């Protein structure tokens, strides 16, 4: 029952904020809100919560381990990158715009937390470690190709010292070699989070096992 209600709660919140983006995002920029990794995380979380709610309501065992692990790691990466850059300089990620406070904390704290709790402790998604790691790597590659081959050429803002159109202001201050290095480090960081989640999942499973056996 906890799994059903958590996935339903997560889905309703994610759906509300997903729809909300269409009211606050200008349609002038190619890709709109989907230029941003945060909104990839939101969209995939919404889909994952819905699939979980539907299958759990029908009594179908959790089985989308690679997808769940990938979406959880993506949201961890979003939280990590956002707050790391925010505390260096908010303009690196927000430019000259002031973020909406409740959206900022949902997208970069509450929403990911709900998904991560489900993925690690309820879904046990990281039991399929290698499939999750491969899916995460492919997702990172797809997003990089998306912003480099489509978003950057088809947008004129934000403007940086080197280029224009890439969704995050700091990327437009980097030459291609610097961006490639950043993408490689970021993908490696995502895989590092896969390992951390797998370890946490295994350790928590070992701790819980004696208790279940005792009963």
Over residues 43-87, the pLDDT tens digits come to 999 999 999 999 999 999 888 999 999 999 999 999 999 999 888
**Which pLDDT does position 214 carry in this prediction?**
45
pLDDT mean across residues, the chain: 92
The dihedral formed by the CA atoms of 45, 43, 9 and 12, expressed in degrees to the nearest 10: -170
What CA–CA distance (Å, rounded) separates 201 from 193? Answer: 12
What CA–CA distance (Å, rounded) separates 178 from 156? Answer: 20
Buried b or exposed e, range 170-191, using 16+ CB within 10 angstroms:
bbbbbeeeebeeebeebbebbb
**Which pLDDT does position 212 carry in this prediction?**
45
DSSP secondary structure letters along 90-101:
THHHHTTPPPPH
| Residue 42 and residue 14 in contact, taking contact as beta carbons nearer than 8 Å | yes
* SS3 state of residue 122: helix
* Residues in CB range of 158: below 8 A, 6 or more apart: 95, 164, 165, 166, 167, 168, 169, 172
Q: Is the pTM of this model over 0.95?
A: no
**Which pLDDT does position 215 carry in this prediction?**
45
The upper half-sphere exposure of residue 37, i.e. CA atoms within 13 Å in the direction of its Cβ, equals 29
> How large a percentage of the chain has pLDDT more than 70?
96
**Which pLDDT does position 210 carry in this prediction?**
59
Task: Specify the DSSP element, H or E, that contains 108.
Answer: none
pLDDT at 211 over 70: no
For residue 147, which of 166, 174, 173 has the smallest C-alpha distance?
166
Q: Kindly state the DSSP code that residue 152 receives in the 8-state scheme.
A: T
């Amino acid at each position: 029952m906890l799994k059903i209600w958590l996935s339903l709660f997560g889905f309703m919140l994610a759906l509300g904020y997903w729809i909300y983006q269409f009211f606050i995002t200008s349609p002038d920029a190619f890709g709109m809100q989907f230029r941003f990794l945060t909104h990839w995380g939101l969209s995939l979380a919404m889909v994952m919560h819905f699939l979980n709610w539907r299958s759990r309501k029908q009594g179908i065992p959790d089985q989308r381990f690679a997808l769940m692990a990938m979406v959880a790691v993506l949201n961890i990466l979003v939280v990590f990158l956002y707050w790391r850059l925010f505390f260096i300089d908010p303009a690196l990620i927000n430019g000259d715009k002031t973020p909406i406070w409740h959206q900022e904390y949902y997208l970069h704290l509450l929403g990911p937390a709900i998904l991560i709790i489900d993925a690690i402790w309820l879904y046990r998604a990281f039991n399929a470690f290698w499939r999750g790691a491969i899916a995460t790597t492919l997702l990172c590659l797809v997003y990089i190709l998306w912003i480099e081959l489509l978003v950057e050429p088809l947008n004129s803002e934000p403007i940086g010292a080197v280029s224009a159109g890439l969704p995050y202001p700091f990327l437009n201050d980097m030459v291609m070699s610097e961006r490639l290095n950043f993408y490689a480090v970021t993908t490696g960081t995502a895989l590092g989070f896969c390992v951390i989640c797998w370890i946490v999942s295994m350790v928590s499973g070992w701790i819980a096992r004696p208790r279940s056996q005792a009963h």
